[in-house]
Every structure is written in C-alpha cells, then in structure tokens.
Amino acid sequence: MTKAKYSSELLSAAVEEFSSLPGIGERTALRLVLFLLKKEKDDAQRFSSTLKDLFDNVRFCKRCFNISDSDLCSICNTTSRDKQTICVVENIKDVMSIEQTQQYNGQYHVLNGVISPMEGIGPGDLNIDSLVQRIGGEDIKEVILALSTTMEGDTTNFYIYKKLLPTNVKVTVIARGISVGNELEYTDEVTLGRSIINRHLFDNANNK
Amino acid sequence: MTKAKYSSELLSAAVEEFSSLPGIGERTALRLVLFLLKKEKDDAQRFSSTLKDLFDNVRFCKRCFNISDSDLCSICNTTSRDKQTICVVENIKDVMSIEQTQQYNGQYHVLNGVISPMEGIGPGDLNIDSLVQRIGGEDIKEVILALSTTMEGDTTNFYIYKKLLPTNVKVTVIARGISVGNELEYTDEVTLGRSIINRHLFDNANNK
C-alpha cells in the first residue's frame, strides 16, 4: 500500500495498522477506521485508550501464566475453586474455552505452546518446569492434560507425563472420541478407531 | 457480554471495544486482541497510538470537506489538478473510490450524506450551501453530480441542480447504465430500460 493513497496520512497510518490484523484486508480496515471516525470523539478516543491501557498494563499470572490484571489471576485468587486439580492447557484461549463449558472448577497451568521441533519449540520454551515446581510446592492431587489432539500435543502430553512420574501425582488426559451430535458415518476413521479402543462401561448418568 | 468473562478486566474492555466494530463479533474481537497481545510490545503500542493520533488530529478540508491532515486537503492543495471542475459526492469513501479509477483530475465537494426525509436528513444538514458559495467564489466551469443512484441520491441531485440554476454553471451527472462486463440477461429491468432511453451515438474511442 502506498502511503499517499488517502488524502490523510493519519488515516493511511491507521488503515495500515488495522490491515496488519489477521483476516482484515485493506477494504475492511478502511471501513473500520471510517466507522470509528464517524463515532463521537469521546467514543473513538476511548477505543484507543482502552487498547493502550491493555498493552501497557496487561500481565500474566505468576502462578498459572493466565492473562491477568495483577500478580495472581482471578482464577488463582478465588477461594471457591478446587485447589488440588491443575488443568494443563496450551494457551490462554483454551482457559477461556474450558471456563465457558462450566464443567471445571480447578486451577490451570498455561504452557504457552506445545513441543514442536518443526517450529523450534522445545520443552525449555514452555512453562513446564514451573508446573513441576507447582506439583512439588502445592497440594495437588490431579493434573489434567488438555492439549490439542495433534502429534505435537501428544508429544507434550508424554513429556509432561514422564516429568511428573516421580511426583506420584495422578495424571489424566481429556477424553477423545466422537464429537457430541456427530454421526458415525461422517467421523474420520482415526477418531472412530480410537473411540472403539477407548470404549468404557455404559453409565446412564454420563450418557448425555 | 459480562465483564467478568475473562480473567482480565483490561482484556474484557479491549474485546468489548473491538466487538463494537461493524462485522466483528466477540470471537473475532478476542482473536484480534490476542493477536495484538502476542506482538512485540512496541508494535502493539504503536497500534493504539496511531489510532489516538488519528482521533486527536484528524480534520476535514475547509473547502471540500474531504478528510485531511491540515486545513486544506491534499487534493485542494495541489496545483496539478483541474481547478474548474467540482465532483459532488456523498462521503469521503466516494472520493477514494473515484480517485482509484484514475479517471478524474478535478476538485471534490463532500456533501456528508444525501437528502433523506426517512432518516430526517434535510438539505440544511448537508454541505450544500458551501457548494453554492464555492461556485460563486471560485472559477468553476462544471459541477459533476456523482451520488448514489437511489431515490435519495436523485432527490439530492435535483435539489442541487435547482440551487445551481441561477449560477449558470454546467451541471452534469455520472452515466448510469449497464455495468462493464455484465450480461443483459442478468441486468435488472430498470437499469436496462434506462440504458436504452439514455443511448448515445456509438463512439469507438469510448467503447472500451
């Protein structure tokens, strides 16, 4: 994009910033910036100041590495949650996804990625050592591994499992199988095959 | 959206701001904010400061009401453009669209809307008086009306035409007809009918 395209350099710069966002092309960027310009000046300025606030002040929880406004995130800080279970996830988005299910009431630990030799990410780049330290320091009964069901996720699962073996903590992994609502006919064969291997006793309470 | 949804109030606020943009839902907003958070801190801060800069300093050209960084926009300021032709458009986006065609080298006048009784927009809400003043004050030979081909656009065209009658300036309107590349079969009947009424002598030079 040439800077001289619009009659305002300020506009060009703002459009360029918006176009750098994923999935936002130049046309959409222009539409968004013009929309903000049409707003009341206070509203528009609040938009930029809210972002500035976030970038200046955002922190990550010292304990679980979730996004936070203070040293400890709201999940670590609350007393109403189970303190003896840690759910290990790849990133803060996964924390949000699991929280939305409202099926989990324990702690989290955000790895900030998975082991991926292809991308040059080794165990040292992830928050794994701090997880091991937590198991040693806190009274933890169970670690739930909730990583992606990819080769990298499986590798990371196995690495963490081996690391935690000496601590004798119970290590579980989230269930893999056919998605709720899916028909067998349209399920890929690997998932279907695994779901047969991992079959379990019929339990009416869980069969929903 | 409840504010407590994310473990960071700052994040929630930023996501809320992004979700207020047209065509951006809460999921996309979250994705965009997390993308910005993953960037280098300098890059992320530049995003908000560029926007702040725009909202604080943007102005509109005193002559043509196009978006501008100074009192006169770059189009009004340049000496290389035809000073005797004014193209009347609805908004600054239309200026950009026409500039992109590279077929026009004159001045502009941004009305900032069209007459629309339904939305309570009358001639007094638009930059029409300033247009009439420009015709009186500057040496203008032609006014090109380039508004939308809607009922409101037609009404505004006619209003401006009547207003400019006493000035004896030449008033033209952009051609309406079948879009280049369209097949007759798929052209709506109003457009097709109009294009027959407005037929003109075959001119090989323009037949591209």
Nearest CA in chain B to A77: B7
- For residues B82 and B167, membership in a common domain is answered with yes
- For residues A134 and A88, membership in a common domain is answered with yes
Summarize pLDDT for A112-166 with one digit per residue, the tens.
Answer: 999 999 999 999 999 999 999 999 888 999 999 999 888 899 999 999 999 999 9
Long-range contacts, stretch A114-119, CB < 8 angstroms, 24+ apart: A114/A90, A114/A147, A114/A148, A114/A150, A114/A152, A114/A153, A114/A155, A114/A156, A115/A152, A115/A155, A115/A156, A115/A159, A116/A152
Total domain count, chain A: 2
- For residues B167 and B90, membership in a common domain is answered with yes
- For residues B86 and B153, membership in a common domain is answered with yes
- Please, what is the average pLDDT of chain B? 87
Q: Is pLDDT of A111 > 90?
A: yes
Chain A hits for B38, CB-CB cut-off 8 Å, are none
The rounded percent of chain B whose pLDDT value lies above 90 is 42
Nearest CA in chain B to A22: B32
* A197 assigned to some structural domain: no
CATH of the domain at B164: 3.40.1360.10
* A52 assigned to some structural domain: yes
* A169 assigned to some structural domain: yes
Q: What is the residue whose two structure tokens read 């638009």?
A: B126
Chain centroid, CA A134 distance in Å: 20
* B200 assigned to some structural domain: no
- For residues A105 and A40, membership in a common domain is answered with no
Summarize pLDDT for B91-147 with one digit per residue, the tens.
Answer: 988 998 888 888 899 999 999 999 999 999 999 999 999 999 999 888 999 999 999
* B151 assigned to some structural domain: yes
CATH of the domain at B42: 1.10.8.420
* B66 assigned to some structural domain: no
What is the pLDDT at residue B203?
64
- For residues B104 and B142, membership in a common domain is answered with yes
Summarize pLDDT for B55-105 with one digit per residue, the tens.
Answer: 888 888 999 999 988 889 889 998 999 999 999 999 988 998 888 888 899
Of B14, B32, B93, the CB nearest to A21: B32
Of A41, A48, A96, the CB nearest to B48: A48
Under the phi-then-psi rule, with left for phi > 0, alpha for psi from -120 to 50, and beta for the rest, what region is A41? alpha
- For residues B40 and B98, membership in a common domain is answered with no
- For residues A41 and A119, membership in a common domain is answered with no
- Please, what is the average pLDDT of chain A? 87
Helix (H) or strand (E) holding A143: strand A142-145
* B82 assigned to some structural domain: yes
For residue B18, give how far its alpha carbon lies from the nearest alpha carbon of chain A (Å).
Answer: 8
CA distances from B1 to A51, B5, B27, B182 (A): 18, 8, 12, 45
Q: Do B36 and A51 touch (CB under 8 A)?
A: yes
* A165 assigned to some structural domain: yes
- For residues A92 and A135, membership in a common domain is answered with yes
- For residues A50 and A88, membership in a common domain is answered with no
- For residues A165 and A104, membership in a common domain is answered with yes
Mean pLDDT for the stretch of residues A21-41: 89
Interface test with A, best of B54, B68, B94, B104 (most A CBs within 10 A): B54
Reduce the DSSP state of residue A108 to 3 states and report it.
Answer: strand
Q: Is pLDDT of A182 > 50?
A: yes
Chain B hits for A73, CB-CB cut-off 8 Å, are 7-8
Q: Is pLDDT of A3 > 60?
A: no
- For residues A84 and A169, membership in a common domain is answered with yes
Chain B hits for A42, CB-CB cut-off 8 Å, are none
> Residue A128's domain spans which residues?
80-174
Q: Which residues pair with A140 in a beta bridge?
A: none
**A85-105: b (≥16 Cβ within 10 Å) or e:** bbbbbbbbebbbebbeeeebe
Q: Do B36 and A17 touch (CB under 8 A)?
A: no
